[in-house]
Amino acid sequence: MVYAFIIHTLFPGPCKVLFNQIYGSDDISGNDGDQPVEEVKKKRQQRKKQIQFVASQVHSENLFRRSVTGRTLEEDIQAISQEDQLPEFELGFFRLKKSQLFVDDKVVVWFGAGNTGFTLILHKEENRVLAENVLKLLIKYFQEYLRVLNQPAEAALKADRVCLILHKFLPDGSLIFMNHRVVRAIERELEIVVKS
């Protein structure tokens, strides 16, 4: 099960979360009715801190990797604008230990290119290779329908489309193995829904 999905900036300047979706039993929306308003606000603040913390960690790791490899933001942006393909992504994994922010251990899988990062926070027992494949599919369709690599702010401005794509490829936060036929069928569904 995926705990959360995040789209965020990578640089320059501080990391900015553009879109996030939290899944599973940790989602506040399912428990609001029985809890006092103060408790709900406290949980929302906690989740906001979690998301910002993870996005900042990815931001930091990406900056470090770029400084080591010598890749520049300008090179990435030029590759994104010249090609109709996805650029070369930076890929990373790291583990989050149980702490004040997280009740149990989590694993983070992320891709970054240009000024945009895409991050999945997984429960520790999840399949990381499957998560990587699903994340690649998500990025492909975010770029196709939102041009999110060219204009990262589109993730925030067109959150309904982001949610639609997420729902198709990451239903209720579940990582599902999809063969070529399944992906093609989802692709056709997306074309119909997005164009209508």
10 Å Cβ neighbour count for 131?
20
In single-letter form, the type of residue at position 112 comes to: G
Cα 129 from Cα 109, distance rounded (Å): 9
CATH number of the domain within which 150 lies: 3.30.450.60
Q: Which two tokens stand for residue 123?
A: 């429960």
The tens digit of pLDDT for each residue in 153-189 reads 888 899 999 999 999 999 999 999 998 999 999 999 9
Measured over all CA atoms, what is the biggest interatomic distance in the chain, rounded to whole angstroms?
Answer: 53
pLDDT at 181: 93
10 Å Cβ neighbour count for 121?
24
pLDDT at 101: 83
pLDDT at 30: 45
pLDDT at 194: 79
Kindly write down the DSSP assignment for every residue of 23-60, as one continuous string: -GGG-GGGTGGGS-HHHHHHHHHHHHHHHHHHHHHHHH
pLDDT at 79: 66
pTM of the model: 0.87
- Domain of residue 92, residue span: 2-195
Cα 115 from Cα 140, distance rounded (Å): 16
pLDDT at 11: 79
Helix then strand count (H, E) for the chain reads 6, 5
Residues of the chain with pLDDT under 50: 26-30
Residue 126 in contact with residue 2, Cβ under 8 Å?
yes
Q: Is the peptide bond before 12 cis (omega within 30 degrees of 0)?
A: yes
pLDDT at 84: 64
Per the structure, how many domains does the chain have?
A: 1
